C-alpha cells in the first residue's frame, strides 16, 4: 500500500477514536464536569482532527474544525461560559464534525447548509464575549503598521545586491539550543557569504562566563533575495540576538563598503504579517462557508462500526494491533485443542487407568492449562461495550429532535466486556430499542407535565454481566405499555382471538409479534415496517433473548440477554431417549428428583410439577425433540429446573446427567440447517456430535396458550 494511503487510513481510524473521545468528554461536561482535563481532552480531540485533516487537504473539515476549536478554546480559557444552549451547540457540532469526517473519507464534502448554520452560531459565540474582553481584531492592523516597514529603497536594484548583516547572539539563543554557526550556514543557502567574526568583547579566560555569549558576526551576503528571505533565516532566534540587516547601496557594492552605523534592532523582529485573531479566522470561515453553496451534499456512507478503543487508560498501557483473522485462527485452534484434550481424557478413562495414576493427574493439569489458554484467548476478543454505547447519545439527540421530545440518556456499565462479534451485532437491536423507547415509550412533553412528571424523559441504557451472559437493559420512564390498546390492535390484526385471556406479561409480549406496530401513524422513526419482532429475531439468532417488563404510568424495561461469546459454552451433558445433549449451564437453576405426588397431568400432553407452592410445566425432552414417541415416567427421570427468556421456568425431563463440561460451539445452521429446539452442536470427547438444546425455544413451547410461537411439535 502506498504509504500516504496507509497514513490516511490511520487518520480516519484515529478520527473515529477522537470523535468518540469528543463525545464522551462533551457528555461529561453536560453532566457538569468542568475540570481542565475534560475540557482539554475535548479540545485536543478537535485539534487533532484538524491537524490531521490539514495533511490531507480536507479543507472543509479543517475550516469547520477550526471554528469549533476556537470556541472550545474559549471554553477552555473561560471566555465562553458553558450554558445549556452552548452545550447543545457543541454537541451538535460534534455530530457535524463526525459527518465531515465521514464525508472526507468518502471524498465528499459534508452538507454545507447544516454546517453553515453551525458556523454562524459559533461565530456569534466567539465574537460576542470576545469583543468585550479581548482587543478587537482591527487593533492588529495598527500594530502591524507600527513595526518597521521593509527597507527604505523599495525598488530593488536588478543586479549585484549585497546584504550587510550584523548578528550578535545573546546567551538565551544558546540556551534554547540554537547555534550561530548553523544560522550562518543557512545564510549560505541564499547566496555567496563572507563572514567575519568579532571577538573584541571576549573577556579573559578568568572572567569568562561558561554560558555567556561573547561573539558576534558580520556577514556579507551576495544574493538577489529579498529581505524577508534573509530575516526568515533568523526567524527562530528573534529576540535572542541583536540583528541588523541592510542592503548595501548598489554603487558601493565593493568589498570596501561604507560602514553603516550598527543599529540595535532588538524589537524589530515582530512578524511582518499582522496576526489574525481567532475570531477573524472564524469570520473568514463563516464567509467561506456561505460563499460556497455549490458544495455537494455528502454521500455519507453507513456509519461504520469502528471499534473505538479510545480509553484514556489504554493510551498509557502498551497495546498492539493485531489482525482479527489471526486471533480468530487462534480461537479455532484452541477450540480444537479443547476437543482433543477431551478426547484424550476419554481414551485414558477407557484404558482403565486409575484416577490417581500419573497419567490421569497430568491430564488434569493439562485440562486446567487448556481452560486457562482458552479464557486468555477469549479475553483478547473481549471489548467493552463502550464503542456501541458511545453511538447512542447522538441517536437520542436525533430522535429527540424528530419527535420534539426532551430526552436524557443515562448509561451505565460501558466498561462491561463482551466478545467483539457480539458487540458488532448488538448495535442494531440496541439502536432500535432506543428509538422505540423514545418514540413509543416516552409520552409527549405535554402529557408528561400533565401526569406530574418532569418534562425531560429519561432513557436508561445499562450493561452488566449476569451468570455468564451480558445483559443490556433499555428502560424509559414513560407511560408504560398501553395494554388495552395493544390487545385491541392484536385482535384487530387477527393475531389473537377476541376472547383470548391473556396475562399482562403475555399482552406485553404481543409487541414482539411479526407485523405488530402500535403507532397509529407509522412514524418516520420507529416505523418502516420494522418492529420489535425483527429485534427479537436478530437477538434470538445470537443465542440471546429479549424480554419486557412494563408498569403503567412508570415506564417499560426491555432486557436483552446475550452470551458473552459465540464460541464456547459451559454445558451440562445429559442423555434423553438415548441421545446425548448439552444443556447450557447458565439456564439451569437446579436438578430435581420428581416425586409421584408432585406431578400433575393437565391433559394428555401437558404435565406440571408442583414446586414450592407453584406449578412449573414439565417438558419431556426426548418426546419434544422427537427422539421417542413414548412420554417418560417423571419419577424415573432426572429433572432439571431451567429458566428461559423472561424468567419463565420449566422442568426438563432427561434420562441421566453425565457431567458438566465446556464445549466448543459449532453452528448447526452453517454446517447443516436450523433445527427447532436445537441451538447448535458440538463435538464431544469421543468424537461424536452432540446437540445443544435451545432452552428458550423448548420452554416457550410449553406455554400452549401463548400465541407467540408455534409449538415445536407443530414445527416438526
Task: Determine the size of the site formed for another protein (CB under 8 A).
Answer: 43
Residue of 11, 68, 163, 217 interacting with another protein (CB under 8 A): 11
* Nearest distance from C-beta of residue 274 to another protein, angstroms: 10
Q: Is 308 in the site for another protein (CB under 8 A)?
A: no
Residue of 38, 178, 244, 370 interacting with another protein (CB under 8 A): 178
Q: Is 322 in the site for another protein (CB under 8 A)?
A: no
Q: How many CB atoms lie within 10 A of CB 184?
A: 18
Residue of 23, 29, 47, 694 interacting with another protein (CB under 8 A): 47
Residue of 16, 43, 165, 486 interacting with another protein (CB under 8 A): 43
Run of H or E including 712: helix 712-715
What are 222's strand-pairing partners? 162, 192
**Residue 270 or 615: which CB sits closer to another protein?**
270
Q: Is 38 in the site for another protein (CB under 8 A)?
A: no
Question: ∠ CA 472-478-479 to the nearest 5 degrees?
Answer: 125
Q: Is 217 in the site for another protein (CB under 8 A)?
A: no
* Nearest distance from C-beta of residue 37 to another protein, angstroms: 8
One-character DSSP codes across 434-480: HHHIIIIISPPHHHHHHTT--SSEEEEEEEEEETTEEEEEEEE-S--
Q: Is 41 in the site for another protein (CB under 8 A)?
A: yes
H helix and E strand count, the chain: 24, 22
CA atoms 48, 50, 51, 53: torsion sign: positive
Q: Is 183 in the site for another protein (CB under 8 A)?
A: yes
**Residue 40 or 431: which CB sits closer to another protein?**
40
Pick the piece of the chain touching another protein (CB under 8 A) from 53-61, 341-349, 512-520, 647-655: 53-61
Q: Is 492 in the site for another protein (CB under 8 A)?
A: no
* Nearest distance from C-beta of residue 228 to another protein, angstroms: 14
User: Whose grid coordinates read 406530574?
Assistant: 452
Q: Is 540 in the site for another protein (CB under 8 A)?
A: no
Give the three-state DSSP class for 544: coil
Distance CA 635, CA 116 (A): 76
**Residue 263 or 275: which CB sits closer to another protein?**
275
Q: Is 52 in the site for another protein (CB under 8 A)?
A: yes
Q: Is 319 in the site for another protein (CB under 8 A)?
A: no
Q: Is 198 in the site for another protein (CB under 8 A)?
A: no
Pick the piece of the chain touching another protein (CB under 8 A) from 2-10, 248-256, 570-578, 633-641: 2-10
Ordered strands of the 555-563 beta sheet: 407-412, 457-466, 469-476, 555-563, 545-551
Q: What is the CA radius of gyration of the chain?
A: 37
Contact yes or no for 407/459 (Cβ under 8 A):
yes
Q: Is 312 in the site for another protein (CB under 8 A)?
A: yes
Per-residue binding letters, 223-242, with another protein (x by CB under 8 A): ----------x-xx-xxx--
Contact yes or no for 555/478 (Cβ under 8 A):
yes
* Nearest distance from C-beta of residue 56 to another protein, angstroms: 8
Contact yes or no for 161/191 (Cβ under 8 A):
no
Q: How many CB atoms lie within 10 A of CB 253?
A: 16
Cell numbers placing 172: 538565551
- Burial of 561 per CB tally in 10 Å (0-12, 13-18, 19+): buried
Contact yes or no for 711/704 (Cβ under 8 A):
yes
Residue of 38, 40, 229, 628 interacting with another protein (CB under 8 A): 40
Q: What is the footprint of another protein within residues 277-296 (CB under 8 A)?
A: none
Distance CA 560, CA 471 (A): 6
**Residue 312 or 503: which CB sits closer to another protein?**
312
Q: Which residues bind another protein (CB under 8 A)?
A: 3-4, 6-7, 10-11, 13-14, 40-41, 43-44, 47-48, 50-52, 54-55, 57, 174-179, 181-183, 186, 233, 235-236, 238-240, 270-271, 273, 275-276, 312, 315
Amino acid at each position: 500500500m502506498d504509504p500516504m494511503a496507509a497514513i490516511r487510513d490511520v487518520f480516519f481510524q484515529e478520527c473515529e477514536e477522537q470523535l468518540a473521545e469528543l463525545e464522551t468528554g462533551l457528555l461529561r461536561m453536560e453532566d457538569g464536569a468542568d475540570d481542565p482535563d475534560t475540557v482539554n481532552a475535548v479540545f485536543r480531540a478537535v485539534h487533532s482532527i484538524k491537524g490531521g485533516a490539514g495533511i490531507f487537504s480536507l479543507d472543509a473539515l479543517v475550516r469547520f474544525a477550526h471554528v469549533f476549536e476556537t470556541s472550545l478554546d474559549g471554553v477552555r480559557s473561560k471566555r465562553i461560559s458553558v450554558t445549556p444552549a452552548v452545550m447543545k451547540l457543541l454537541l451538535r457540532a460534534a455530530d457535524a464534525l463526525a459527518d465531515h469526517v465521514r464525508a472526507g473519507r468518502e471524498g465528499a464534502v459534508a452538507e454545507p447548509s447544516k454546517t453553515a448554520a453551525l458556523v454562524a452560531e459559533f461565530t456569534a459565540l466567539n465574537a460576542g464575549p470576545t469583543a468585550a474582553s479581548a482587543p478587537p481584531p482591527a487593533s492588529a492592523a495598527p500594530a502591524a503598521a507600527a513595526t518597521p516597514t521593509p527597507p527604505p529603497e523599495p525598488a530593488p536594484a536588478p543586479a549585484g545586491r549585497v546584504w550587510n548583516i550584523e548578528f550578535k547572539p545573546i546567551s538565551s539563543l544558546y540556551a534554547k539550543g540554537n547555534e550561530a554557526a548553523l544560522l550562518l550556514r543557512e545564510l549560505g543557502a541564499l547566496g555567496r557569504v563572507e563572514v567575519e567574526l568579532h571577538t573584541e568583547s571576549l573577556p579573559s579566560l578568568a572572567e569568562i562566563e561558561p554560558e555567556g555569549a561573547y561573539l558576534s558576526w558580520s556577514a556579507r551576503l551576495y544574493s538577489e533575495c529579498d529581505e524577508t528571505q534573509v530575516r526568515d533565516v533568523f526567524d527562530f532566534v528573534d529576540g535572542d540576538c541583536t540583528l541588523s540587516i541592510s542592503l548595501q547601496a548598489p554603487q558601493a557594492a565593493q568589498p570596501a563598503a561604507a560602514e553603516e552605523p550598527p543599529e540595535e534592532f532588538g524589537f524589530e523582529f515582530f512578524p511582518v504579517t499582522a496576526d489574525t485573531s481567532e475570531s477573524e479566522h472564524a469570520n473568514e470561515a463563516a464567509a467561506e462557508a456561505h460563499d460556497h453553496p455549490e458544495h455537494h451534499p455528502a454521500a455519507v456512507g453507513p456509519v461504520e462500526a469502528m471499534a473505538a478503543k479510545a480509553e484514556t487508560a489504554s493510551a498509557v498501557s502498551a497495546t498492539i494491533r493485531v489482525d482479527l483473522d489471526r486471533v480468530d485462527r487462534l480461537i479455532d485452534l484452541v477450540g480444537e485443542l479443547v476437543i482433543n484434550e477431551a478426547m484424550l481424557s476419554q481414551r485414558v478413562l477407557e484404558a482403565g487407568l486409575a484416577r490417581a495414576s500419573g497419567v490421569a493427574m497430568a491430564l488434569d493439569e493439562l485440562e486446567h492449562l487448556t481452560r486457562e489458554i482458552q479464557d486468555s484467548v477469549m479475553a483478547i476478543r473481549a471489548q467493552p461495550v463502550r464503542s456501541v454505547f458511545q453511538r447512542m447519545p447522538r441517536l437520542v439527540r436525533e430522535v429527540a429532535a424528530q419527535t420534539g421530545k426532551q430526552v436524557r440518556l443515562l448509561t451505565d456499565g460501558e466498561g462491561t466486556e463482551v466478545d467483539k462479534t457480539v458487540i458488532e451485532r448488538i448495535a442494531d437491536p440496541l439502536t432500535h430499542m432506543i428509538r422505540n423507547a423514545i418514540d413509543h415509550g416516552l409520552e409527549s412533553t405535554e402529557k408528561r407535565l400533565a401526569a406530574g412528571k418532569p418534562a425531560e424523559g429519561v432513557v436508561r441504557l445499562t450493561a452488566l454481566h449476569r451468570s455468564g451472559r451480558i445483559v443490556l437493559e433499555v428502560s424509559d420512564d414513560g407511560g408504560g405499555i398501553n395494554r388495552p390498546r395493544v390487545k385491541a390492535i392484536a385482535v384487530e390484526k387477527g393475531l389473537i382471538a377476541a376472547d383470548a385471556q391473556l396475562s399482562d406479561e403475555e399482552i406485553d409480549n404481543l409487541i414482539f409479534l411479526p407485523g405488530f406496530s402500535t403507532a397509529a401513524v407509522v412514524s418516520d422513526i420507529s416505523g418502516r415496517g420494522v418492529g420489535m419482532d425483527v429485534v427479537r429475531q436478530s437477538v434470538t439468532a445470537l443465542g440471546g433473548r429479549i424480554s419486557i417488563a412494563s408498569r403503567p404510568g412508570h415506564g417499560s424495561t426491555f432486557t436483552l440477554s446475550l452470551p458473552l461469546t459465540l464460541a464456547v459454552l459451559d454445558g451440562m451433558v445429559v442423555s434423553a431417549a438415548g441421545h446425548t445433549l448439552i444443556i447450557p449451564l447458565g439456564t439451569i437453576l437446579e436438578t430435581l428428583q420428581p416425586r409421584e405426588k408432585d406431578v400433575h397431568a393437565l391433559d394428555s400432553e401437558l404435565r406440571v410439577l408442583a414446586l414450592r407452592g407453584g406449578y412449573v410445566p414439565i417438558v419431556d425432552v426426548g418426546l419434544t425433540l422427537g427422539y421417542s414417541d413414548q412420554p417418560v415416567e417423571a419419577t424415573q427421570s432426572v429433572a432439571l429446573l431451567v429458566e428461559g427468556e423472561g424468567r419463565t421456568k420449566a422442568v426438563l425431563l432427561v434420562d441421566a446427567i453425565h457431567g458438566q463440561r465446556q464445549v466448543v460451539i459449532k453452528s448447526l445452521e452453517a454446517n447443516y440447517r436450523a433445527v427447532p429446539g436445537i441451538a447448535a452442536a458440538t463435538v464431544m470427547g469421543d468424537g461424536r456430535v452432540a446437540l445443544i438444546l435451545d432452552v428458550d425455544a423448548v420452554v416457550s413451547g410449553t406455554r400452549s396458550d401463548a400465541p407467540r410461537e408455534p409449538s415445536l411439535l407443530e414445527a416438526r
